[in-house]
Amino acid sequence: PDAEITLTVNGASHRLAVPATAPLLAVLRNDLHLNGSKYGCGLGQCGACTVLIDGIAARACTIPAGSVAGRSIVTLEGLSKDDRLDPVQEAFVAEQAAQCGYCLNGMIMALKALTLREVAPDEEMIREALRYNLCRCGTHLEILAAARRACG
């Protein structure tokens, strides 16, 4: 049976009826049509589905939507303000840091979380923040360049 939950996503409150065990990623994509978060592995291993929960990077594919009711959820769509990209997004555009681009949601959200908790992240912090985000195209050098630009 579905459960009634209220999710706060990108500053907006949504009352939803979803299966109690539905992953947050499925609710974001299928019910709220926020497709920035990607389905990669569904196992919490690739990072493609990363969102911010209370400012901390989290893997939406393994989190039951019902467990984050009342928390502040931010997706990729919530980063831009007044039609301006977030500085982390700008850095990825400037460095052209995409091959297929499927991993970039996770890279950007992981870095956003880093910039929220550290004023001037160093190389070690950047690498640690991205360590468990997979890019199958092997665009890591461009991604690191974008990350340095975003954190510089």
By CB under 6 A, is residue 35 in contact with ligand FES? no
By CB under 6 A, is residue 36 in contact with ligand FES? no
User: Contacting ligand FES (CB under 6 A), which of 35, 45, 72, 99?
Assistant: 45
CB of 16 to ligand FES, least distance (A): 20
Nearest alpha-carbon partner for 52 in 10, 97, 85: 10
By CB under 6 A, is residue 61 in contact with ligand FES? yes
By CB under 6 A, is residue 41 in contact with ligand FES? yes
Q: Which residue carries 């690191």 as its tokens?
A: 144
Q: Considering beta carbons, is residue 47 or 78 the nearer one to ligand FES?
A: 47
Backbone conformation region of residue 134, classed left if phi is above 0, alpha if psi is from -120 to 50, else beta: beta
| Strand 72-74 versus strand 2-9 pairing type | parallel
- Measured N-to-C along each axis, helices 140-151 and 104-117 cross at an angle, to the nearest 10 degrees, of 30
Q: With contacts defined by CB under 6 A, name the span among 13-21, 36-44, 78-86, 92-100 that binds ligand FES.
A: 36-44
User: By the 8 A CB rule, do 89 and 108 touch?
Assistant: yes
- Under the rule (CB under 6 A), what is the footprint of ligand FES? 39-42, 44-49, 59, 61
